[in-house]
Chain A
């Protein structure tokens, strides 16, 4: 059976240089909010044009307005607020650590202004395990398991509230499951994702890992009620074949830690070897980790790999 290979962005895209300038100017009082909004809109068009030119199967708009993976929620929900600047894994970038004083209460309707729309749009949201794991939990005795479930319920409310505007692809970012082996209670994580899956009925769902080798967490990942499991090709060390049991495979194949272009031939060989080991039902290809670790031009240029790879893998 020939596998179909689809391509997508898997996280935020870097801001174009014009938007970098506009946002700096906004902070320094040189332009007003309307001018900044215009710059954001133009930048989103620019990212959409890149996605269209490269024939990506999903459209994201680049998530250029998200200050970090958690900020729409840490500023929009009650029970949680944005805390101190904290390093985001092993990068030279930072997020404001969510500070939970109580179980989060969603502000239903929040997501409508933060997500792309359209028949091929892709929602990219924080996964509950990473959200809880990277937060300062000052309730529930700091218990990550309970917080992850509370977060999943709040995210599910937001997703249900989107109604028909909910994107047909919903991806949950779980870099923590790549960074370190899963060390929680599997039944609780499965329950958190069951809550999310119910809110995503009719959508294709994915859990995406990066910032490390997720192979040690593979059995936990396969147990989750989602359609696709995403891995960082450059970190994945498969010690033995482990079928994905009917799930699709996501692979980060565009490396955001270097501006060097990847070699399509060599990457297609590596993709094939992972496919053989995991026997996926479908394959999604994208960057890993998200490309916002690169400047805009470098990221756009490196994405050229995706259509080349798709072509190479179709032969």
Chain B
């Protein structure tokens, strides 16, 4: 893969048929028998490729929400109703009522469709998969809590949580990942956004990750965002099977604060793995200039001391932005990476 290869990292908005029609020129026509999810998947793949990204997926077009999608395929989990996320937005929350096990690998059809539709080598497709720690955090852990004698104390809750994380890793994540690897997936990104709220539980998240990927032959990365990374270091480095850290940086850019300086810690701890460098703030409509993107990559290269270990991506999924803003951000990201590449190569 070339220096500063660009990649997507998460979900995109659910495009309406009108949006897809509006952007359709050059994005390929939908097959008449396709479902709306498949049409969106095809649209997103073409959108990302046209923006110039080197490594893509389909913007999670087949998934409703990153935990609900998984819990629909987990025996022992039961949806108990809606919880408000913010304003008038809600998510369906599951309760673990029995020992969790997999009903069927829930990314199988999605990956088969993406692979067939994208027509790209599997090295250019990165599958995002919700990790066991986040799945556990975003459900009610009733089953293990009920068996925990100390459930009314924090230490009891933590013990029950560990049991759930490891059960999900062994019984749900590992067979799901094995199915993807069996289909030819090479790049798999394990998403652990919930770790951002509990950096003190990094060791548990690492344990869950290692249990999930044990014995599987693929390149695994870990995506964490909006976290105090310094609190996770060095515990996070114990995730020996991880080949890339895909973290958010651009959101923290502020006068007098250079978030990319964090990369110096990788040198200090002797961690030589790849970085998925967040260069786009996905929470703002303001489109980063090409020069800003190139500057962020250049700074990160200096702090890391090895530009060849950097891949370039948005901080997180762009699903909350408009298609026009997404287009502007992604095309500038691609151009900024090219500018930084030329500067490096000379």
Shortest CB distance B310–A (Å): 27
Q: Give the segment of B2-10, B78-86, B296-304 that binds chain A.
A: B78-86
B196 to A, closest residue via Cβ: A87
Q: Give the segment of A141-149, A200-208, A295-303 that binds chain B.
A: A295-303
Number of residue pairs spanning A and B whose beta carbons lie under 8 angstroms apart: 89
A94 to B, closest residue via Cβ: B86
Contacts of A14 in B (CB 8 A): 81-84
Q: Write the A59-80 contact mask toward B (1 if CB under 8 angstroms, else 0).
A: 0000000011000000000000
Q: Looking at chain B, what size class is its interface with the partner chain?
A: 20 to 34
CB of B142 within 8 A of CB of A15, answer no
Shortest CB distance B141–A (Å): 7
Shortest CB distance B280–A (Å): 15
Q: What separation, in Å, do the CA atoms of A234 and B283 have in the docked complex?
A: 35
A296 to B, closest residue via Cβ: B81
Contacts of B80 in A (CB 8 A): 259, 294-295, 297-298
Q: What separation, in Å, do the CA atoms of A41 and B151 have in the docked complex?
A: 37
CB of B87 within 8 A of CB of A295, answer no
CB of A90 within 8 A of CB of B145, answer no
Q: Which of A15, A24, A68, A260 contacts B146 (CB 8 A)?
A: A260
Known A-B contacts A258-B141, A297-B81; the reply to A27 vs B154 at CB < 8 A is no
Q: Give the segment of B90-98, B170-178, B231-239 that binds chain A.
A: B90-98
Size of interface on A: residues with Cβ below 8 Å to B: 42
Shortest CB distance A198–B (Å): 34
Contacts of A296 in B (CB 8 A): 81
Contacts of B194 in A (CB 8 A): 92
Contacts of B141 in A (CB 8 A): 258
Q: Write the B171-204 contact mask toward A (1 if CB under 8 angstroms, else 0).
A: 0000000000000000000000010111000000
Contacts of A255 in B (CB 8 A): 152
Is B138 located at the chain interface by the 8 A CB criterion?
A: yes
Interface of B is mostly: mixed
Is B153 located at the chain interface by the 8 A CB criterion?
A: yes
Tell me which residues from 120 to 174 in chain B have a Cβ below 8 Å from any Cβ of chain A.
Answer: 137-138, 140-142, 145-146, 151-154, 157
CB of A295 within 8 A of CB of B152, answer no
A71 to B, closest residue via Cβ: B87
Is A276 located at the chain interface by the 8 A CB criterion?
A: no
Q: What separation, in Å, do the CA atoms of A292 and B83 have in the docked complex?
A: 7
Contacts of A293 in B (CB 8 A): 83
Q: What separation, in Å, do the CA atoms of A235 and B262 have in the docked complex?
A: 33
Is A267 located at the chain interface by the 8 A CB criterion?
A: yes
B78 to A, closest residue via Cβ: A259
Is A32 located at the chain interface by the 8 A CB criterion?
A: no
CB of B90 within 8 A of CB of A24, answer yes
Contacts of B196 in A (CB 8 A): 87
Q: Which of B95, B152, B154, B226 has the most CB of A within 10 A?
A: B152
Q: Which of B82, B85, B283 contacts A92 (CB 8 A)?
A: B85
Is B88 located at the chain interface by the 8 A CB criterion?
A: yes
Q: Which of A94, A213, A258 contacts B85 (CB 8 A)?
A: A94
B284 to A, closest residue via Cβ: A84
Q: Which of B83, B138, B142 contacts A295 (CB 8 A)?
A: B83
CB of B153 within 8 A of CB of A295, answer no
B97 to A, closest residue via Cβ: A259
Known A-B contacts A27-B88, A259-B95, A295-B80; the reply to A87 vs B197 at CB < 8 A is yes
CB of B153 within 8 A of CB of A234, answer yes
Shortest CB distance B25–A (Å): 28
Is A26 located at the chain interface by the 8 A CB criterion?
A: yes
Known A-B contacts A235-B154, A270-B152; the reply to A258 vs B84 at CB < 8 A is no
Shortest CB distance B92–A (Å): 9
Q: What separation, in Å, do the CA atoms of A14 and B84 have in the docked complex?
A: 8
Tell me which residues from 236 to 277 in chain A have a Cβ below 8 Å from any Cβ of chain B.
Answer: 237, 255, 257-260, 262, 266-267, 270
CB of B86 within 8 A of CB of A67, answer yes
Is A37 located at the chain interface by the 8 A CB criterion?
A: no
Q: What separation, in Å, do the CA atoms of A66 and B85 have in the docked complex?
A: 13
Tell me which residues from 191 to 239 in chain A have a Cβ below 8 Å from any Cβ of chain B.
Answer: 213, 233-235, 237
CB of A95 within 8 A of CB of B154, answer no
Q: What separation, in Å, do the CA atoms of A23 and B157 have in the docked complex?
A: 34
Shortest CB distance B204–A (Å): 14
Known A-B contacts A20-B82, A24-B90, A93-B83; the reply to A87 vs B153 at CB < 8 A is no
- 14 A-B residue pairs with CB within 8 Å: A14-B84, A27-B88, A67-B86, A90-B197, A92-B85, A92-B138, A94-B85, A258-B142, A262-B152, A266-B152, A267-B152, A294-B80, A295-B80, A296-B81
Q: A23-B88, A237-B154, A257-B140 are in contact. List 9 more A-B contacts (CB 8 A).
A: A14-B81, A14-B82, A14-B83, A27-B88, A85-B283, A92-B194, A93-B84, A255-B152, A297-B80
Chain B: residues with CB nearer than 8 A to chain A?
A: 80-88, 90-91, 93, 95, 137-138, 140-142, 145-146, 151-154, 157, 194, 196-198, 226, 283
8 smallest A-B Cβ distances: which pairs?
A295-B81, A23-B88, A94-B86, A90-B197, A20-B82, A260-B142, A259-B140, A259-B95
